[in-house]
Amino acid sequence: MESYKACHKYARITARKARYVMDMVRNKPVEHALDALRFTSRRAAPMIAKVVKSAMANAVQEGGANPENLVIEEAYADEGPTAKRWRPRARGMAYPIFKRTSHLTVVVTEVKQTAKVDAPTDTDE
């Protein structure tokens, strides 16, 4: 099985907040993950959806994979550089403001579809 990766570097969101959404889509089929992200109200959801779509496009473009068979194998958010700003306070003090960034990474892999065996149903004929 071949893996396909996509990254969003220097995303302007904290890694901690992005990890909540990453945990939600990890080990899910790509289509289900995109549906879940579409209806999630977290600010990281559109950023992660864009990365998932990019990884899916990489799989289709490079490996000729079927988008219906793709599963999110890995999804993680690493910390990026932090921009430090200063907020003026009373009596000449200054409080720090940390503008944190993160690196969002999604790895998808193609899973071979197995034939589904339907359970026998009772039919009254």
The string of pLDDT tens digits covering residues 12-26 is 999 999 999 999 999
pLDDT digits (tens, 9 = 90+) for 98-116: 999 999 999 999 998 765 5
Q: Give pLDDT, residue 113.
A: 72
Domain chopping of the chain, boundaries: 3-110
Does domain 3-110 correspond to CATH entry 3.90.470.10?
yes
Classified as helix, coil or strand, 118 is coil
SS3 letters across 35-76: HHHHCCCCCCHHHHHHHHHHHHHHHHHHHCCCHHHEEEEEEE
CA dihedral 88, 13, 83, 9 (to 10 degrees): -170
Question: Model's pTM, two decimal places?
Answer: 0.85
pLDDT digits (tens, 9 = 90+) for 42-53: 999 999 999 999
If pLDDT is split at 50, 70 and 90, which confidence band does 1 have? confident
Q: Give pLDDT, residue 4.
A: 95
If pLDDT is split at 50, 70 and 90, which confidence band does 63 have? confident
